[in-house]
Amino acid sequence: MAVSFDEYLVVGISSRALFNLEKENEVFEAQGLDAYREYQLSHEDEILEPGTGFTLVNNLLSINERTGKKLVEVIVMSRNSAETSLRIINSLDHYGLDINRMAMSGGENISRYLKAFGVDLFLSSNEFDVSDAINNGFAAGLVYNTDQIYRADNDQIRIAFDADAVLFSAESEKIFQEKGLDAFVKNEIENQDRALKKGPLAKFLLCLANLQQNTREYQLIRTAIVTSRDKNSGRRVLKTLRKWNIDVDEVFFLQGANKATILKSFGANIFFDDQDVHGLPASEVVPSARVPYKKGQEPK
C-alpha cells in the first residue's frame, strides 16, 4: 500500500536553496552543462556548505524527533540529473538530515511535480520555477542566495511574513502603487471589517498554524507579520486574521521603517516579502525569500 503524506507539512526545496551551490552555478552559467557535469562529478566526495534554507529545514525536521511523531516531510527538488546528484545525497547524509525523497528533473522545470508530491511550500533559487509555482496556486519563495553566514540563536522555528501580496492578496498593494499612501490608508480604514483576500502564502500559514497548534506543548514554532502598514491600516490585518481563526505570535506595524533590524531581533529562520526593496536588506541579516506576483496581478 502506498505511503500517504497528506497529514504532514510538506516542504519542497531546491538543492541550491538548501546548500551553497553558487560556485557550481557560476560554472554552469559561464561554461555550460557539460562543464557543470564534470565539476560535480570531480567534486562528488566534497561536502556542500549549508545554504540559505538549511537552518529552516534542519529545525523543521527536528519537530519529528522532538515530538516523536512524523509531522514534517522535506523533499529535495533539484534540476540536477541523477548522475550529478550523488554529491547532494552525500551532503544530506553528512549533516544527518532526515530527507529521503528527491525529485531530479535533469534540467527541466521542477515545479510541475509540486502537486504530485503534495508540497505545501516550495523554496528555490530559480525564478522561473518559483513564478510557475505561484501561478499554479502553490506557496513559494525565491530564496536570496548571499554570502552571509546566518546564525540561529535557538532551534525554534521562527517564520516572518510581509502582509500585502504575501499573506494577503495584492489588491490593497495595487491601491498604494497606483494612488498613493493616503488612498491606501483610507481604503483600509473604510474596509477594516471586510476580510482581506488570501494571498500566495495564506495556505502555508494555515498549515503552519495547524502544526503549531498540534505541537504547542513543545513551543517549537513562532510566527510574525512584519509589515510597512501603520497601526491604522493594520486594523484590517488583525481583523482578517481573526476571521481566519489564526493567531500570529508577533505583529509589527512599521509605517515604512526598515524591516531588517526587527527581523534580526526576531531571529527569523526565513522572511517572505514581495519586494526586493525590503527583501534584499533583510537577506543581509536573516534568510529571506521574495514572493513573486501572480501573473496578471502585478501592481503597476
Cell of 272: 517572505
- Rounded CA-CA distance 125/108 in Å is 14
Distances (CA, A) of 216 to 9, 31, 73, 211, 300: 15, 50, 19, 8, 42
260: closest CA among 176, 155, 160, 163? 160
Q: Cβ distance 287 to 150 under 8 Å?
A: yes
**Burial class (CB within 10 angstroms; exposed 0-12, middle 13-18, buried 19+) of 84:** buried
Q: Which residues in the chain belong to E strands, given as ranges?
A: 9-13, 72-78, 101-104, 121-124, 140-143, 157-161, 221-227, 250-253, 270-273, 288-290
Q: Is 34 a residue of the active site?
A: no
* Catalytic residue selected from 120, 129, 132, 162: 162
Give catalytic residue positions.
Answer: 162
